[in-house]
Amino acid sequence: MFPKLTLILGGASSGKSAWAEGFVDLAGKPPVYLATARALDGEMRAKIDRHRQSRGEDWRTVEEPLDAVRALFDVTGEETVLFDCATLWLTNHLLEGSDLEAECDALIDALRRCAPNVVVVSNEVGHGIVPEAALSRRFRDAQGVLNTQLAAAADLVIFITAGLPMVLKGRLPELPA
């Protein structure tokens, strides 16, 4: 059985999004890509375009940099959501001056209550040095708290490094070949 909530963690460019896309395809339901990135420059637009092309036309894309809660409730239980990624979603809220604790609590609640199975991609940012700037430290700390909340709520937690998965919590489902 495909897990209700899966968390895919990893460093930047670790292969977590590609692995998560393949995993979502195994659910056997129409995939929905909940995109949180903002194309603020040409480099980010190109990255978004590459991701979209790699997924193919079978994916429905919902671009929602802030209101992931509403977007999750707009998806039916007949679909599977790839929420990519919680890190950019949190960054967007931090830069908007949102109440991060309230936004994270609302997200966790929505992930528990929404109809579809959801795979959340998030960056593990706690393996580096302590950032010099206060904003960077605030982000790192908030991301660590969010990842901890996501992991606690998830049925399955997978850490990706060098494109390779390591199960941290739960078991990979046995899916038909």
Closest CA to 122 of 142, 147, 103: 147
C-alpha span between 35 and 82 (Å, rounded): 8
Look up residue 131 and give its amino acid.
Answer: P
Q: What is the CB neighbour count within 10 angstroms for residue 142?
A: 19
Name the H helices within the chain: 16-25, 42-55, 68-73, 86-96, 100-113, 134-153
Among 35, 37, 51, 120, the active-site one is 51
51 is catalytic: yes
- Where in the sequence numbering do the catalytic residues fall? 51
